[in-house]
Amino acid sequence: MSAATDTAGSAVPLRPGSAIGQSVRDSLVVAKRNLIRMARIPEMLIFGLIQPIMFVVLFTYVFGGSIQVGSSTSTQAYREFLMAGIFAQTVTFATAGAGAGIADDMHKGLIDRFRSLPMARGAVLTGRTLADLVQSALTLIVLAVVAVLVGWRTHENFGKVLAAFGLLLLLGYAFSWIGALIGLSVRTPEAATSGGLIWLFPLTFISNAFVDANQMPTFLRHIAEWNPFSANVQACRELFGNLPPGFQASDAWPMQHPVWASLMWSVLIIVVFRTLAVRKYRSATA
């Protein structure tokens, strides 16, 4: 054993480059680590799929004929209306995954290890959120296939459909930063999971995701219209061509310009929560 005799300390070939370059590389190293973990714990991905698939099937067949959207009560109209809502809900659940993962790393001492290394400060969190983005993309692909199997169809060109999925992933990425902050703030992975999920239910239900918000009481309707989540759902419906016949978009600005609203919301969430999470990470004491 010559670990010590070989004083490679300074002789180690270090990577050259700028701070931004280092930040990107470190983030990718951490993302790779999280992706390897994901591949070795496939249960996580599978369980993450069961819930949205259940929602697709339950909402389609149980509520399918009884919820009026726009002027239509047809099962097909609701089916197409519904999918954007379930896709969006699914990507926001990445919040819980990111939160639990980071809380687990804290708990096990890995964050301490990372913080003792000369690496870019935000890289541990960026790496995690990037890996979650990949997971969200995989989940969306499977979910879209299931949706098509139960009769979901798009009525716009392929570019627009892809743009919708892009918006969904951006929203999911933004929400995983909220999860990162939660994960750094709680003491156990369990707390991070429940802390990451509870508020998602009111957020996703007081929205246009599952019902036509126009039919809500005024007070709730206003909340729903300005909910970042609703903007995303509305944008996806437009881009998928899934707005039901006779649907009247509300006059609220986000509902009139849902694509812009969704983009702005997502960027705002990323800027705010990334800043808070990285600051928290710097001072994180496990």
Partner 1 sequence: MPGAIYAEGLVKTFGDVRALDGVDLDVPEGTVLGLLGPNGAGKTTAVRCLTTLLRPDSGRAVVAGIDVVRNPDAVRRSVGLSGQFAAVDEYLTGRENLQMVGQLYQMKAKAAKARAGELLEQFHLAGAGDRPAKTYSGGMRRRLDLAAALVVSPPVMFMDEPTTGLDPRNRQQLWEVIKQLVSGGTTLLLTTQYLEEADHLAHDIAVVDHGRVIARGTSDQLKARTGGERVEVVVHEREHLTTASEVLHGFGKGEVALDEHIRRLTVPVTGGAKLLAEVIRELDSRGIEIDDIGLRRPTLDDVFLSLTGHVAEEETAEGAEDTSAEGGSGTDSARSTRRKEATK
Contacts to partner 1 by CB under 8 A:
1-9, 12-15, 22, 25-26, 29-30, 32-33, 36-37, 40-41, 106-110, 112-119, 123, 187-188, 283, 285-286
Question: Which among 172, 164, 174 is positioned nearest to 237, based on CA atoms?
Answer: 164
Task: Confirm if 53 and 152 have CB atoms less than 8 A apart.
Answer: no
Which of 9, 217 has the CB closer to partner 1? Answer: 9
Report the nearest approach of partner 1 to the CB of residue 140 (Å): 24
Which of 23, 72 has the CB closer to partner 1? Answer: 23
Which of 108, 153 has the CB closer to partner 1? Answer: 108
Report the nearest approach of partner 1 to the CB of residue 144 (Å): 28
Q: What residues have CB less than 8 Å from 205, skipping those under 6 apart?
A: none
The label of the residue with tokens 């239900």 reads: 205
Cα end-to-end span (Å), the chain:
33
Stated as kind and residue range, the H or E segment containing 76 is helix 75-92
Report the nearest approach of partner 1 to the CB of residue 38 (Å): 9
Which of 270, 277 has the CB closer to partner 1? Answer: 277
DSSP, res 65: T
Report the nearest approach of partner 1 to the CB of residue 178 (Å): 20
Report the nearest approach of partner 1 to the CB of residue 180 (Å): 17
Do you know the residue count of the chain?
Answer: 286
Which of 112, 260 has the CB closer to partner 1? Answer: 112
Task: Confirm if 127 and 30 have CB atoms less than 8 A apart.
Answer: yes
Which of 112, 162 has the CB closer to partner 1? Answer: 112
Residue 79 neighbours by CB distance under 10 Å: 20
Report the nearest approach of partner 1 to the CB of residue 118 (Å): 4
In angstroms, the CA 286 to CA 254 distance is: 40
Tokens of 164: 């919708």
Largest CA distance in the chain: 79
Which of 66, 283 has the CB closer to partner 1? Answer: 283
Q: Tell me if residue 72 falls in helix, strand or coil.
A: strand
Report the nearest approach of partner 1 to the CB of residue 29 (Å): 5
Task: Confirm if 180 and 277 have CB atoms less than 8 A apart.
Answer: yes
Q: Which residues pair with 72 in a beta bridge?
A: 69
